[in-house]
Amino acid sequence: MSLEEIKKVRIKKLEKVEEKESAYPASVFRDFSLAEVVENFSKLSKSRKKISLVGRIFSIRSHGGMIFCDFKDGSFSEKNGQTVSLQAYLKKDVSGEDAFSLFEDTVDVGDFVEFEGSLFKTKRGERSIKVLLWRIVSKGLRPLPEKWHGLSDIEERFRKRYLDLLMSDEVRLRFSLRSKIIAEIRSFLNKQGFLEVETPMLQPLAGGALAEPFKTHHNALDLDLFLRIAPELYLKRLLIGGFEKVYELGRNFRNEGIDATHNPEFTMLEFYQAYKDANFARSLVEDLFNVIVKKIFSKKFFKYGEHQISFSKKFGVMSFFDVLERHALLNNPREATRDDFKLKAQQFGIDVSEADSKGKIADNIFKKICRSKIIQPTFITDHPLSISPLAKRKVGPSVGEADLADRFQLIAGGLELVNGFSELNDPREQEERFEKQQELRKAGDKEASEFDESFVEAMEYGMPPAVGVGIGIDRLVMFLLDVPNIREVVLFPTLRNK
């Protein structure tokens, strides 16, 4: 039977129900959730009191004058990772012939039904409600996916996430755990004295990161605006304004390709603390990760892909150029020229444009060749200053450090999970950095930062020494839950039109 034929049949059933009452009432009678019923089943069944329950029908079995159906109301047990189910038992001589026949003739899998009756256990030990009265409270006009296979088309699962959640307890648990991870992050930062804030998502200049933005237009103001690629420059304005510890957890938007670790719309955490530096932030990040792992997962070892990830030790530390030397087999990369990096990039099949700086070419090599080889949690430090336009310059005894940023990334399982650095707070140097970024934009680099005059002006009033950290929430969830594709941890990922 085609979908249109099924819909026509169900609409006829709907019309039959509505001859007696609405199939979409505004409210229902419900004494307990199914989770509460299961938890207190012994007590409730012994009382033999009538109770009202509501849920969606997932299966129907008829045996002569009896009907058995399994229903769920959305209650979820994280202990066993399954949605809570109960059986409804209708008997013709109990519910009455008319009510029994109406149920038999009009109720389908997917319908929401309200049941009134008493609880009991069948001879097989099945928790059940013996139905005295029932009514449809929402009639479904389309059939649910077949129970045992769900949605077989992966992209269709993302397109119709509501069905994916209905048919897969594994998916439901994944998003429940994602919510817990976010809640634990907020709790950690709040206990540390951070203030949660909200900054603009529509910005006159897209700044705070190296990325191509989405552009839009505000009609009333006749003003071009950009969906933010990062909240960084606004959060640092709050440091200038006197807040010492701030964070924002929200959506960013980048007009980039879609792959296993990138979605154009993604969730990002950024937090900033005055009077601290990158070394302090690395310690704070390590504490945060250990708290999440301990409180939510109660273990220190994770499987990610083919690898066993350990949180039982201090995180490793490697410099950016040491990583290139080890994993990209670059000889003395600190002293290498742009041409040296360009030649190596081309050997790896990496495109290089005339606008790409030596640092950007090196970073592209790092991303394509090196990052996937870093499995255990490792801080990568001392990045090229040219790809860190908002970071403070690293100061040290060696001459080479003049071109390095006091910055770090946390890599684990081959994923970049964290980016942080001591914040540049010298307005003169920030202005010079923006000017260099403008030169790159003129040369064709769409990801180079815009010159943000209002931010430089704010810095001229005085910005305290500070550190900032960004954590990609989607990738963090991918990593902790051993999921290979970012679209599996985003409820409604960006997809091509069908």
In tens, the pLDDT along 241-284 reads: 999 999 999 999 999 889 999 999 999 999 999 999 999 999 99
The verdict on residue 343 lying in a domain is no
Residues 140 and 173 both lie in one domain:
no
Residues 115 and 178 both lie in one domain:
no
The verdict on residue 495 lying in a domain is no
Residues 430 and 295 both lie in one domain:
yes
Separation in Å, CA 71 to CA 27, 94, 113, 326 = 19, 20, 8, 57
Residues 308 and 267 both lie in one domain:
yes
How buried is 68 (Cβ within 10 angstroms: 0-12 exposed, 13-18 middle, 19+ buried)? middle
CATH number of the domain to which 419 belongs: 3.30.930.10
Instruction: Give the span between the Cα atoms of 413 and 236, in whole angstroms.
Output: 31
What's residue 148's pLDDT? 45
The verdict on residue 180 lying in a domain is yes
What's residue 307's pLDDT? 93
Residues 207 and 58 both lie in one domain:
no
Domain end marker among 76, 111, 144:
144
Question: Does the pLDDT value for residue 301 go beyond 60?
Answer: yes
- CA geometry: angle at 470 spanning 429 and 283, to 5°? 95
Bigger pLDDT: 354 or 321? Answer: 321
pLDDT tens, position by position, 86-119: 999 999 999 999 999 999 999 999 999 999 999 9
Domain end marker among 92, 110, 144:
144
What's residue 354's pLDDT? 84
Instruction: Report the C-alpha dihedral over residues 404, 405, 410, 414, rounded to 10 degrees.
Output: -50
What's residue 401's pLDDT? 57
What's residue 48's pLDDT? 86
CATH number of the domain to which 69 belongs: 2.40.50.140
What's residue 399's pLDDT? 43
Question: Does the pLDDT value for residue 472 go beyond 60?
Answer: yes
What's residue 149's pLDDT? 53
What's residue 189's pLDDT? 98
- Token pair, residue 64, equals 């002569």
Residues 260 and 407 both lie in one domain:
yes
Q: What is the mean pLDDT of residues 51-57?
A: 97
Q: What is the mean pLDDT of residues 118-135?
A: 95
Separation in Å, CA 193 to CA 237, 244, 245, 405 = 18, 9, 7, 27
Residues 308 and 428 both lie in one domain:
yes
pLDDT tens, position by position, 486-496: 999 999 999 98
Cβ-contact 368, 347 below 8 angstroms = no
pLDDT above 90 as % of the chain? 78
Range of the domain at 227: 169-315+376-488
- Token pair, residue 169, equals 């307890």
- Residue 355 confidence class, pLDDT cut points 50, 70, 90: confident
Separation in Å, CA 34 to CA 59, 72, 124, 308 = 16, 7, 19, 37
Residues 203 and 127 both lie in one domain:
no
Longest dimension (CA), the chain: 92
366 Ramachandran zone, left/alpha/beta (phi>0; psi -120 to 50): alpha
SS3 content of the chain, % helix, strand, coil (to 5): 40, 30, 35
Residues 81 and 188 both lie in one domain:
no
The verdict on residue 407 lying in a domain is yes
Separation in Å, CA 285 to CA 281, 292, 420, 464 = 6, 11, 10, 21
The verdict on residue 322 lying in a domain is no
Question: Does the pLDDT value for residue 410 go beyond 60?
Answer: yes
The verdict on residue 344 lying in a domain is no
Residues 125 and 245 both lie in one domain:
no
What's residue 156's pLDDT? 87
pLDDT tens, position by position, 361-401: 999 999 999 999 999 999 999 999 988 988 999 886 554 55
Choose among 86, 166, 159: nearest CA to 126: 86
Residues 117 and 177 both lie in one domain:
no
What's residue 211's pLDDT? 86
Instruction: Give the span between the Cα atoms of 371 and 378, in whole angstroms.
Output: 10
Question: Does the pLDDT value for residue 425 go beyond 90?
Answer: yes
Number of domains in the chain: 2
What's residue 396's pLDDT? 67
The verdict on residue 498 lying in a domain is no
Question: Does the pLDDT value for residue 357 go beyond 90?
Answer: no
The verdict on residue 164 lying in a domain is no
Residues 46 and 121 both lie in one domain:
yes
- Residue 402 confidence class, pLDDT cut points 50, 70, 90: low
